[in-house]
Amino acid sequence: MSDDDTYDVIVIGAGPVGENVADRTAAAGLRTVIVESELVGGECSYWACIPSKALLRPAAALSGARSVAGAREAVGDRRVDAAAVLARRDAFVGDWQDDGQVSWLDSVGVELVRGHGRLVGPRRVEAAGRTLTARHAVVVCTGSRAVVPDLPGVASARPWTSREATGSRKVPGRLAIVGGGVVGAEMAAAWSALGSRVTLLIRGERPLPRMEPFAGDLVADGLRASGVDVRTGVSVTAVDRKDGPVEITLDHGDPVTADEVLFATGRAPRTDDLGLETVGLEPGSWLEVDDTLRVAGVPDGWLYCAGDPNHRALLTHQGKYQARIAGAAIAARAADRPVDEAPWGPFAATADHAAVPQAVFTEPEVAAVGLTLAAAEAAGHRCRAVDYDLGAVSGAALYADDYRGRARMVVDLDDERLLGVTFVGPGAGELLHAATIAVAAEVPLPRLWHAVPAFPTTNEIWLRLLETYRG
């Protein structure tokens, strides 16, 4: 082992989360190396958040124009220009080249090793033929991959996963999507707008099952209005592709024929080929962490995990938040400074439990933070849901003719603070951060009454919700 191979911190995986951990530890003066097997920037930059939103935005812009008389006449019933949308997506992913992100790593003083990283015992990582040793911490930031269910015929059907759904250079004539989670709903919206005839196959009652039920219902209405065949309560039993299209058999109802089938059926942690067994952990498992992001059950506390593989919240912004906390904790422990793990302190990822925001870029958009009513009740809170028609707010009516949307806040009746907020409607994503602040800061409702929303913005929904609560 040469001194060159000894670092203070080794980060495995250079997605947004790994990059942020490495940035923090390097900034704290710790010699940091990051190991990446594919592209620096990770799934988020090349096959997930960025390309999916680049595909969705042009259709939303067009709908935005179409929803306002005066602008509507200018755009008529034109569709998006698919070639231009795909070219814009390609630009956002830098044509799947990571030079820009590699230069950034260089600029913040983080060393890059290209190759697959694998633990080979406590504090040791093998990558690119080298054995790297960490003085203070190894951080697993390896993300997640799509799970395709093991159905008859699935392998030979060459299904799409989120990678092909965000990266395809061709618009399939007919696209079937299995799974009504966030990927399924967003990709149905994107490809339908690009010209595919989309069938969305959902085994539950509605899309977005983890959100408030009205959110899934409004999204299903929006998808249907844009031409998507949304089928609920159906399960795929087999898929079959010979040379041409793929045939999808359902447990009941007519089979579906499509040119491509996307499985948007959830994620698995990329921890299966990581050498976890060499440190007493189960390969392929989600890694349980404490609030400083240290992996449970590892003696001496040198192993951390941030982002998707700890299964707290599979979202880029939440993983980056964990990265900031983990980076601070690693730096403090390395310097023998005390690490106060109290909730909401600099070393505790408390928001993971109480205030995770998410925006879903369907039409209408869904924006939610904290608990749904059902989740709040299941957690034993004495609570009340306050609902309001978002379209009845002046700002919304000005924003779009016939604005359709709904808002809900879930109030904890014992201490009069917000447990969760959901907005559904055009542009709802941009309303979310005020709600995140109110939930994370536990702002008492009597004080929120003094936060006056500007007129006439859609944010006036806050006033209407509070008035409704007060009665």
Ligand X SMILES: Cc1cc2nc3c(=O)[nH]c(=O)nc-3n(C[C@H](O)[C@H](O)[C@H](O)COP(=O)(O)OP(=O)(O)OC[C@H]3O[C@@H](n4cnc5c(N)ncnc54)[C@H](O)[C@@H]3O)c2cc1C
Ligand Y SMILES: NC(=O)c1ccc[n+]([C@@H]2O[C@H](COP(=O)([O-])OP(=O)(O)OC[C@H]3O[C@@H](n4cnc5c(N)ncnc54)[C@H](O)[C@@H]3O)[C@@H](O)[C@H]2O)c1
Query: Buried (b) or exposed (e) across 234-271, using 16+ Cβ within 10 A?
Result: bebeebebeeebbbbbbeeeeebebbbbbbbbebbbbb
Round to the nearest angstrom and report the end-to-end CA distance of the chain. Answer: 71
CA distances from 96 to 42, 43, 53, 274 (A): 10, 11, 16, 25
Name the DSSP class of 68. Answer: S
Give dist(CA 342, CA 353) in Å, integer.
14
Among ligand Y, ligand X, none, partner that 117 touches (CB below 5 to 8 angstroms by kind) = ligand X
Is 129 part of any known ligand binding site? no
Is 94 part of any known ligand binding site? no
Give dist(CA 342, CA 183) in Å, integer.
35
**Least CB distance from residue 204 to ligand X, whole Å?**
19
**Dihedral of the alpha carbons of 452, 456, 457, 461, in degrees to the nearest 10:** 60
Which residue type occupies 146? A
Q: Closest Cα partner for 140 from 121, 120, 122, 117?
A: 117
The interface region with ligand X, picked from 142-150, 225-233, 362-370, 418-426 by CB under 6 A, is: 142-150
Among ligand Y, ligand X, none, partner that 265 touches (CB below 5 to 8 angstroms by kind) = ligand Y
Say if residue 111 is exposed, middle or buried (CB neighbours under 10 Å; 0-12, 13-18, 19+): middle
Can you tell me which of 94, 122, 153, 266 binds ligand Y, judged by CB under 6 A?
266
Kindly tell me which of 32 and 265 has the beta carbon lying closer to ligand Y: 265
114 is a contact residue toward ligand X (CB under 6 A): no
Q: What are phi and psi for residue 375, nearest 5 degrees?
A: -70, -40
Encoded tokens for 221: 């209405």
23 is a contact residue toward ligand X (CB under 6 A): no
Which residue type occupies 216? G
β-pairing verdict for 246-250 and 256-258: antiparallel
**Least CB distance from residue 200 to ligand X, whole Å?**
15
**Least CB distance from residue 204 to ligand Y, whole Å?**
6
Among ligand X, ligand Y, none, partner that 360 touches (CB below 5 to 8 angstroms by kind) = ligand Y
270 is a contact residue toward ligand X (CB under 6 A): yes
**Least CB distance from residue 333 to ligand Y, whole Å?**
30
The interface region with ligand X, picked from 85-93, 99-107, 315-323, 409-417 by CB under 6 A, is: 315-323
Give dist(CA 45, CA 316) in Å, integer.
10
Using omega within 30 degrees of 0 as the cis cutoff, is the peptide bond preceding 16 cis?
no
12 is a contact residue toward ligand X (CB under 6 A): yes
44 is a contact residue toward ligand X (CB under 6 A): yes
465 is a contact residue toward ligand X (CB under 6 A): no
Say if residue 387 is exposed, middle or buried (CB neighbours under 10 Å; 0-12, 13-18, 19+): middle
117 is a contact residue toward ligand X (CB under 6 A): yes
Give the footprint of ligand X on residues 316-345 (CB under 6 A). Answer: 316-317, 319
Q: Closest Cα partner for 1 from 144, 111, 177, 130?
A: 130
- DSSP labels, 7-25: EEEEEE--SHHHHHHHHHH
Sign of the Cα pseudo-torsion (435, 436, 441, 442, in order): positive
**Least CB distance from residue 125 to ligand Y, whole Å?**
27
429 is a contact residue toward ligand Y (CB under 6 A): no
Q: Which 3 state secondary structure label does DSSP give 26? A: helix
Among ligand X, ligand Y, none, partner that 459 touches (CB below 5 to 8 angstroms by kind) = none
Neighbours of 330 (CB within 10 A): 30
- Residue 374 CB contacts under 8 Å (≥ 6 apart), including other chains: none
**Least CB distance from residue 453 to ligand Y, whole Å?**
25
Is 424 part of any known ligand binding site? no
Can you tell me which of 125, 183, 219, 276 binds ligand Y, judged by CB under 6 A?
183
Encoded tokens for 174: 């007919």
Can you tell me which of 33, 315, 368, 369 binds ligand Y, judged by CB under 6 A?
315
360 is a contact residue toward ligand Y (CB under 6 A): yes
Among ligand Y, ligand X, none, partner that 184 touches (CB below 5 to 8 angstroms by kind) = ligand Y
Contact track, ligand Y, 226-265, x by CB under 6 A: ---------xx---------------------------xx
Query: Residue positions in the annotated binding site for NAD(+)?
Result: 179-186, 266
Feature table: binding site: 53, 117, 142-144, 179-186, 266, 308
Interface residues toward ligand Y, by CB under 6 A? 149, 178-184, 186, 203, 209, 235-236, 264-267, 314-315, 358-361
Annotated binding site for FAD: 53, 117, 142-144, 308
Q: Which residues bind ligand X (CB under 6 A)?
A: 12-18, 35-38, 42-44, 48-49, 52-53, 116-117, 141-144, 162, 166, 183, 270, 274, 307-308, 314-317, 319
